[in-house]
Amino acid sequence: MTRTPATARKPKIGLVAGGLGAYWPQFPELLPQLQRSAARVTARMREFDAEVVDVGFISDAQEGAAAAEKLRAADCDLIVGFLTTYMTATMLVPIAQRSGAPVLLINLQPTEAMDHASFDTGQWLAYCGACPLPEMANTFERSGIPFRSVSGYLEDERAWTRIGRWIRAAGVRSVLRNGRHGLMGHLYPGMYDVSTDLTMVTGNLGGHVEVLEFDDLRVRVEKVTDDEVAQKLADTRKTFELDDSVVQGDLEWAAKVSVGLDRLATDFDLDSLAYYHRGLDGETHERLGAGMILGASLLTARGIPAVGEYELRTSLAMLITDRLGAGGSFTELQALNFRDGVVEMGHDGPAHLGISERRPLLRGLGVYHGKRGWGVSVEFDVRHGPVTVIGLGQTRDGRYKLIASQGEVVGGPLLKIGNTTSRVNFGIDPGEWTDAWSGSGVAHHWALGTGHIIPELRAVAELTGLELVEVGN
């Protein structure tokens, strides 16, 4: 059976609505009204980039148990329970216990407020979804089930923004649980912070780490045709501005490696890739390692983060950032600018082309600092405006934690050395921010994404069981 790549997999959202069946014979118009509300919720849910599994409307504990079995079999990434009116905890606890997925309860009354002068009891009950929320919270706590909810009204965009946040977080949980992450080559010598226990990736996040050799890339690059190189070169010229320093032979080699990388990602069904190889004396493996930046940047732009220096946890942080719609480019500290109050950060390597302030530049480099080989590198500035930096740290007991800080990319002078440099203002002294960021336990690489997305990361942290450390916010 062909596998849908985790990066292309839409989160599967289970949906169940319900109310107390004892009301239906007492107030004949109530159930049809609540079912109309449930249909509206279903329609709004389908507007998200998600697969919605709607198991219908439940009225008692027996129907709740039946819905629980349907949702368990559906293997959902998140289950949304719509409290249309009062209902007992016994109707929803089986769903939360048996599904194996986190549960979000929503209380969306029909309008902003009741018409108190004209409403009777039956009409009031349509607004009574808030009533069971404390009951659910108490029961979930006593049953060891994490509780989360969103309250509002049917057309309340603030509430739907919060619901969408949970759905996007479920998408991150899905891509991590189902992802296949390539790790090719070997650790950059001496980078203890980058060293990653592969068991801990699966233990903390789920998914699978595929250990690759550079020879897996070599054999694919060797089979690349001249026509394929020509097509990749044409695509590259459409995407990048080419600096005069680019050597044609180096560009052609980078294009050939890029085609091979595309095949590698397809053949091994990869959702992310981290790589490094040192090589010697200009031999093939050294040339492969030096020729990765173009292809890795193009893969990253397609939603398959690819990073250098064997930085597996950062490729995962970039995957999280990308699934939240923020892009996410490979980044480290470069310098502090105390005159302008900014932190200058970026990397000599793969970039997320979708979040560039302007058309990205390819620059030819005769040397990569600290690495062997030569070739082309990407130079760009992340889109100006709000940004979030996101790292994936590891504690001494092996647990992973998300580390994040919000700032703003601002314009100003940049080095022209083939790096992805951005000037980030975090609203405090650059030295103070750098000390706080370093003290968080983050490694020396992270993802730089667009937008202020810490609220989304809070939801991700809750659904994945990760701690979230917020720096300077």
Per-position DSSP letters for 335-346, written without gaps between them: EEETTTTEEEEE
- Position 372 pLDDT exceeds 80: no
Instruction: Report the pLDDT value the prediction gives residue 159, as an integer from 0 to 100.
Output: 98
Instruction: Report the pLDDT value the prediction gives residue 87, as an integer from 0 to 100.
Output: 97
Over the chain, what is the mean pLDDT? 95
- 225, with CB counted inside 10 A (0-12, 13-18, 19+), is exposed
Mean pLDDT along residues 57-61? 97
Instruction: Report the pLDDT value the prediction gives residue 278, as an integer from 0 to 100.
Output: 87
Q: Which of 60, 56, 70 is nearest to 16 (CA)?
A: 56
Percent of the chain with pLDDT over 90: 91
Task: State the pTM of this model.
Answer: 0.94
Structure-block tokens of residue 28:
């004949």
Rounded Cα–Cα distance for residues 347 and 278 (Å): 18
Q: Which of 307, 310, 345, 368 is nearest to 423 (CA)?
A: 345
Rounded Cα–Cα distance for residues 447 and 27 (Å): 55
Mean pLDDT along residues 72-81? 96
> Do 374 and 368 meet the contact criterion of CB atoms below 8 Å apart?
yes
> Do 40 and 106 meet the contact criterion of CB atoms below 8 Å apart?
no
Instruction: Report the pLDDT value the prediction gives residue 464, as an integer from 0 to 100.
Output: 95
436: how many CB neighbours lie within 10 A of its CB?
14
β-sheet bridge partners, residue 222: none
Instruction: Report the pLDDT value the prediction gives residue 434, as an integer from 0 to 100.
Output: 97
> Do 204 and 48 meet the contact criterion of CB atoms below 8 Å apart?
no
Instruction: Report the pLDDT value the prediction gives residue 6, as an integer from 0 to 100.
Output: 66
Q: Please, which pLDDT band fits residue 373 given cuts at 50, 70 and 90?
A: confident
CB within 8 A of 310, min separation 6: which ones?
A: 183, 185, 186, 187, 188, 191, 194, 274, 275, 276
Which segments of 76-235 are extended strands (E)? Answer: 78-83, 103-109, 149-153, 180-185, 208-212
Instruction: Report the pLDDT value the prediction gives residue 3, as an integer from 0 to 100.
Output: 56
Q: Please, which pLDDT band fits residue 1 given cuts at 50, 70 and 90?
A: very low
> Do 355 and 375 meet the contact criterion of CB atoms below 8 Å apart?
no
Q: Please, which pLDDT band fits residue 4 given cuts at 50, 70 and 90?
A: low
Greatest distance between any 2 Cα atoms in the chain: 86
Structure-block tokens of residue 314:
């950062």
List phi, psi (to 5°) of 151.
-115, 145
Instruction: Report the pLDDT value the prediction gives residue 413, as an integer from 0 to 100.
Output: 95
Instruction: Report the pLDDT value the prediction gives residue 369, as an integer from 0 to 100.
Output: 72
Between 467 and 418, the more confident residue is 467
Rounded Cα–Cα distance for residues 234 and 256 (Å): 12
Rounded Cα–Cα distance for residues 355 and 301 (Å): 9
Q: Which of 403, 407, 386 is nearest to 394 (CA)?
A: 403
- Position 78 pLDDT exceeds 50: yes
Instruction: Report the pLDDT value the prediction gives residue 2, as an integer from 0 to 100.
Output: 52
State the DSSP code for 11: P
- Position 7 pLDDT exceeds 80: no
Domains of the chain: 6-176 (3.40.50.10940), 179-470 (3.20.14)
pLDDT 10s digits, 201-239? 999 999 999 999 999 999 999 999 999 999 999 999 999
Q: What is the crossing angle of helices 157-178 and 454-464, to 10°?
A: 50
pLDDT 10s digits, 186-208? 999 999 999 999 999 999 999 99
Between 394 and 3, the more confident residue is 394
Instruction: Report the pLDDT value the prediction gives residue 28, as an integer from 0 to 100.
Output: 97
Structure-block tokens of residue 72:
């368990």
Instruction: Report the pLDDT value the prediction gives residue 374, as an integer from 0 to 100.
Output: 78
Which run of H or E residues covers position 395?
none
Instruction: Report the pLDDT value the prediction gives residue 375, as an integer from 0 to 100.
Output: 86
Distances (CA, A) of 323 to 119, 168, 171, 316: 45, 7, 7, 11
